[in-house]
Each structure stands twice: as C-alpha cells, then as structure tokens.
C-alpha cells in the first residue's frame, strides 16, 4: 500500500511516518507540506505509473490557491476514476469540516489522536473500496444528512402550484380559476414566492423556479 503523507507540520509527519512504518505492507511514497505539494506528489506518482493508493490529508494546510488548503487538495486528487483515495487526518471535528471533506471526495475521516489500530483499519477499508469515518465524524455527517432531510422546503405546496402555473404563462385570474382560489389569494402567494426566491417580477420568479428545478 503506497501512501502520500500530507501535513504542514514536520513533527506530525514524523510521528505519522513512524506509525505507518510499523504497519506491514505500507510504504510512504511521498510527503507534502502544503496542499499544492500534495496535489503535485499524487500527480507525479500517477504519471510515473506507480500511483499512490492512499493520500493521508491534513485539512489545515497552506495553499497557493484561494481555496481552503486541505479541501482544495482533496477535491483535486479525489476525482472520479482517480486511483488515489483520500483519508483526512486532522484535529478538526466541526460538522462543516466533515461535510466539506466528504463532499470534496474524501473516503475516510480520522483524527490525529486516533489509535494506531484505527488508522490501520481505515487504510485497509478504504484501499478495499470502502469508507471509514471516526465516530465523531460519522455523527457529524449523520447530523448533516438529517438536517438536509428535515429542512423545510423553500416553497409551500400551494406556492409550488401557483409557481408551476405561473411558469406556463397563466395570469392571476387563470391561476385563481385553476386552483379555486381568489385573485387576491393568488397575489398574496406571488408576494411570498417573490420574497422567498429573491425575485422582483414574474419573469425573474419563473427563472428562479427553473433554476431550483421546480418547473
């Protein structure tokens, strides 16, 4: 198993390197001290015909880009079809950090105080095509998923009905007739739709509805 070790602290890299050295079949193929170096190391190994299997990625690393260091590097490396798989190894346990890393393509999320056996299991699991999240990271990810699933829809069901008819070019009177409501009620719904979508007129509202995938 070939590893790229990416962390901007030499002492941390030395500790992780020593730990990985105790694991059978594990080879440190490259080390990186910045996000840019991590991306370059992965690309260099790939171009040589001997790509890394795993990139152990710190999140809080300097970057030459305007993006977050570790997240940007993860996104650049963990593209669909890439031979390398990224496991984040960090001290950050905020829900936003976990979600951002997973969205960027990380297949694992570990903390730097993880037991050696946990790191070894994560490496094996991810190399085999699975995913491995430390308990705190798994909880954060589950919380984010639940929040998305229970989030209130942008528009109410009635507002969606009005919006769909609006997108057909129907006027207020026709919408009222179709939905068996008064024109005054239609106007009230339109006011709410405009406010929620940040629109100022019917054309802008329809464009926003299409952008949201509603119509």
Q: Note the pTM of the prediction, 2 decimals.
A: 0.67
Q: In this prediction, what percent of the chain has a pLDDT beyond 70?
A: 92
Separation CA 169–CA 214 (nearest Å): 15
187: pLDDT strictly greater than 70? yes
pLDDT of residue 194: 87
Domains of the chain, residue spans = 2-149, 157-211
Is there a contact between 108 and 96 (Cβ–Cβ < 8 Å)? no
pLDDT of residue 152: 46
Model confidence at 26, pLDDT cuts 50, 70, 90, reads: very high
CATH code of the region 2-149: 3.40.50.2300
pLDDT of residue 95: 84
Separation CA 109–CA 88 (nearest Å): 5
What is the phi/psi pair of residue 76, to 5°?
-70, -35
Mean pLDDT, residues 154-183: 91
3: pLDDT strictly greater than 90? yes
For 120-164, how does the pLDDT look when each residue is reduced to its tens digit (9 = 90+)? 999 999 999 999 998 888 887 777 666 665 444 678 889 999 999
Separation CA 45–CA 141 (nearest Å): 31
Count of other CB atoms within 10 angstroms of residue 166: 23
62: pLDDT strictly greater than 90? no
**Whole-number average pLDDT of the chain:** 88
pLDDT of residue 176: 93
pLDDT of residue 147: 64
For 78-115, how does the pLDDT look when each residue is reduced to its tens digit (9 = 90+)? 988 899 999 999 998 888 888 889 888 999 999 999 99
Q: How is 137-186 classified by DSSP, letter by letter? A: HHHHHHHHHHHHHHSPPSS-HHHHHHHHHHHTT--HHHHHHHHT--HHHH
Separation CA 51–CA 27 (nearest Å): 12
Model confidence at 10, pLDDT cuts 50, 70, 90, reads: very high
pLDDT of residue 151: 45
Count of other CB atoms within 10 angstroms of residue 210: 12
CATH 1.10.10.10 fits 157-211, yes or no: yes
């Amino acid at each position: 198993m070939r590893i790229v070790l990416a962390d901007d602290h030499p002492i941390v890299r030395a500790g992780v390197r020593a730990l990985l050295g105790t694991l059978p079949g594990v080879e440190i193929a490259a080390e990186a001290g910045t996000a840019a170096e991590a991306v370059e190391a992965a690309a260099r190994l790939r171009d040589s015909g001997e790509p890394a299997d795993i990139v152990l990625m710190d999140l809080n690393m300097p970057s030459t880009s305007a993006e977050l260091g570790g997240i940007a590097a993860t996104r650049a490396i963990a593209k669909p079809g890439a031979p390398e798989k990224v496991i984040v190894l960090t001290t950050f346990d905020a829900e936003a950090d976990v979600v951002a890393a997973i969205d960027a393509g990380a297949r694992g999320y570990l903390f730097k105080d993880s037991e050696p056996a946990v790191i070894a299991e994560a490496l094996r699991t991810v190399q085999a095509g699975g995913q491995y999240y430390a308990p705190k990271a798994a909880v954060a990810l589950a919380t984010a998923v639940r929040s998305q699933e229970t989030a209130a829809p942008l528009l109410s069901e009635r507002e969606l009905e009005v919006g769909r008819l609006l997108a057909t070019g129907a006027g207020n009177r026709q919408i009222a007739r179709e939905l068996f409501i008064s024109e005054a009620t239609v106007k009230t719904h339109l006011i709410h739709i405009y406010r929620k979508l940040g629109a100022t007129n019917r054309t802008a509202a329809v464009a926003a509805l299409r952008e949201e995938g509603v119509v």
